[in-house]
Structure 1
Amino acid sequence: MHWEGVLPAITTPFTADGQVDHEFLARHARWLVDNGCTGVVALGSLGESPTLRFEEKVAILQTAVTALGTRAPVVAGIGAVGTAEAVELARQAERIGCSGLMILPPYVYAGDPREMLQHVATILRSTRLSCMLYNNPIAYRTDFLPEQIARLADEHPNLHAVKESSGDVRRITALRALHGNRLAILVGVDDLIVEGVRAGAVGWIAGLANALPRESVALFNLARRGPSPKLEKLHHWFLPLLRLDTHNKFVQLIKLVQQETGTGSERVRPPRLPLTGAERKAALALIRSSLARRPKEPALATRARP
């Protein structure tokens, strides 16, 4: 598992009757890789993992692994209410053939550091797969501090990466100061990607890549090369859309962008509901305005839709 490049936090597509659309999921995963993404991360926050039953999660991982084969890695989001279920999901992901795990804190109970670190350590010990810790204190009310992450990495050799979603770019520099290049750091907040790369991040767990993979890959690659007029122009265009990833209804918003680009549907699973009324009107105005000014360079032209 190489923790680098653009790895979309792939959305979970649903049919009209609310079931997981495995046929579309397979096409979508292949299309993302066709358009330059280095792999996919399934069952994350954007994948609506808390609303999925255990057997649905296993089936989604199987579909993604079968669709991509040896072309690109599938990373399994390991999130659950309890540690035992998380361990079982990690073992199933390894059995299916996933290349890595993204370890989330428990969904409901946000305990003290001793409890949360023990939860992560138990999952790390249960698998031989390469693992990435997902730090998102805003969503999960658990904040893994750089010093705690460094200790986990010292004690568990299969912890190789951190998805940093605190929104504080200083966390990236702090992790690098503590561990150098021992841990790959990946940005988990879309509108922080340029700053994150400048601070030393080597990858991006991207949301808007579900609808705009070529633009996402181009932005990431330009950011890694350093400041340039081309980077500034693309970033300026993309930023209003990237900010949708930081909204409380980011799942509905990103799926709405997918629908507008013909790369998915806005269907979500309750308790989420599609946007309506003035909220939907405002979102569509922003999305359509941005898409009307979409860069036309050949290098950014997306390939056939999934």
Structure 2
Amino acid sequence: MSIKRKAPVGILGFPITPFTINNKVDEQMLEKNIQFLLAEGLEAIFAACAAGEYPSLSKEEYKSIVEVAVSVTGGKVPVYTGVGGNIQTSLELAQISADKGADGYLILPPYLVSGEQAGLADYFKTIAESTNLNAIVYQRDNVYLSISTLAALAKVPQVVGVKDGLGNMELNTLLTQTFKERFSWINGMPLAEVTMPAYVPLGFESYSSAISNYIPHISRKFYNGVLSGDQETVNEIYQYVILPINKIRSQCKGYAVSLIKAGMEIIGIPAGQTVRRPILPVEKEHYAEMETILKNAMDRFPKETSIQSI
């Protein structure tokens, strides 16, 4: 079967992993979360990635999450998974993703040990070539991708996209100008809506949206405003939604995950009972601030159509 060598374009859904009070993966709740994202028109599902607390999952939990994502999505949109960190584990999870019917995976960087560019190229290349699935490489934290590294990866058909979580716009300009349409370019900055207007002129067509887990209609309204040049709408959503949420998110490490679950709970979307350590739940004062922000956001930017029942 021919595989389309193209990364998803648009707003990408990164569902959380809901856990029960006994710290087990709640598969039924995960199904509802993914159904919600599909009903809201997100262009892809990225399961068991950072928002899904990928580093904390056992291999069996990972399998079950991929199975749920592929089953619920039913081919409506592509399903990508998260692999990365330990290369041996990554190769196993890449194969699981292929066996379970995923369309591709996002390769997170290796952590703790920093490698030279040649080593990083081999790391991403080895994982990408281990299956026939599409692969998106992710630069963030201690890993940036040089022109020479991307030149090596450009020779690998499976590598279809580059996700940026560094925010180095000089580097992004060099990379996009050098490789242009060879890769799809994805904004993976924390709360990517904050920076998306700066990324679009460079050729970035997609971003991972944390707030789409609970207010996807506002993320869509914002993105449409960015693409159409509706600066009034962009500024209004910045002022009343994105920047206030980003201010809270910046208060504590781990809020990139736990604040998503708090937002979902406030809106009334099932989010599970806990997060896994070292991530901590949102503090009460920040939770109260989120409640105020989201109430005002929903009043100012009401949903124009009702979502599918979850």
Q: What is the TM-score normalised by the length of structure 2?
A: 0.88
Which secondary structure state, in structure 1, belongs to the residue aligned with residue 144 of structure 2? coil
State the identity as a percent.
Answer: 25
Quote the residue 2:285 is aligned against.
282
Quote the residue 1:105 is aligned against.
109
Quote the residue 2:184 is aligned against.
184
Which secondary structure state, in structure 2, belongs to the residue aligned with residue 114 of structure 1? helix
- Cα separation, 2, equivalents of 1:35 and 1:4: 15
Amino acid at match of 2:145: F
Distance of aligned partners of 1:206 and 1:17 in 2 relative to their CA distance in 1, 3 Å threshold: same
Quote the residue 2:28 is aligned against.
23
Is the 8 Å Cα contact of residues 18 and 274 (structure 2) preserved in structure 1?
A: yes
Of the candidates 251, 262, 267, which is equivalent to residue 256 of structure 1?
262
Q: Matched residue pairs, number? A: 297
* 2:135 paired with 1:131: yes
Displacement after TM superposition at 1:168 (Å): 2.6
Distance of aligned partners of 1:289 and 1:199 in 2 relative to their CA distance in 1, 3 Å threshold: farther
Cα-to-partner distance string for 1:100-130 (whole Å, 9 max, x where unaligned): 2101122443333232221111011112111
- Cα separation, 2, equivalents of 1:57 and 1:293: 37
Quote the residue 2:199 is aligned against.
196
- Counterparts of 1:53-64 in structure 2 under 5 Å? 53-64=58-69
Quote the residue 2:155 is aligned against.
155
Is the 8 Å Cα contact of residues 48 and 82 (structure 2) preserved in structure 1?
A: yes
- Cα separation, 2, equivalents of 1:227 and 1:214: 16
- Cα separation, 2, equivalents of 1:57 and 1:80: 15
Which secondary structure state, in structure 1, belongs to the residue aligned with residue 182 of structure 2? coil
Distance of aligned partners of 1:149 and 1:234 in 2 relative to their CA distance in 1, 3 Å threshold: farther
- Cα separation, 1, equivalents of 2:272 and 2:25: 12
Is the 8 Å Cα contact of residues 258 and 266 (structure 1) preserved in structure 2?
A: no
Q: What is the TM-score normalised by the length of structure 1?
A: 0.89
Which secondary structure state, in structure 2, belongs to the residue aligned with residue 161 of structure 1? strand
Displacement after TM superposition at 1:171 (Å): 3.5
Quote the residue 1:143 is aligned against.
144
Cα-to-partner distance string for 1:226-247 (whole Å, 9 max, x where unaligned): 2431222123222222455555
Amino acid at match of 2:121: L
What is the RMSD of the two structures over their aligned residues, measured on CA atoms?
2.1
- Cα separation, 1, equivalents of 2:303 and 2:258: 28
Consecutive unaligned residues of structure 2, counting only runs of 5 or more, are: 1-5
Distance of aligned partners of 1:195 and 1:35 in 2 relative to their CA distance in 1, 3 Å threshold: same
Distance of aligned partners of 1:266 and 1:188 in 2 relative to their CA distance in 1, 3 Å threshold: farther
- Cα separation, 1, equivalents of 2:247 and 2:140: 16
Consecutive unaligned residues of structure 1, counting only runs of 5 or more, are: none
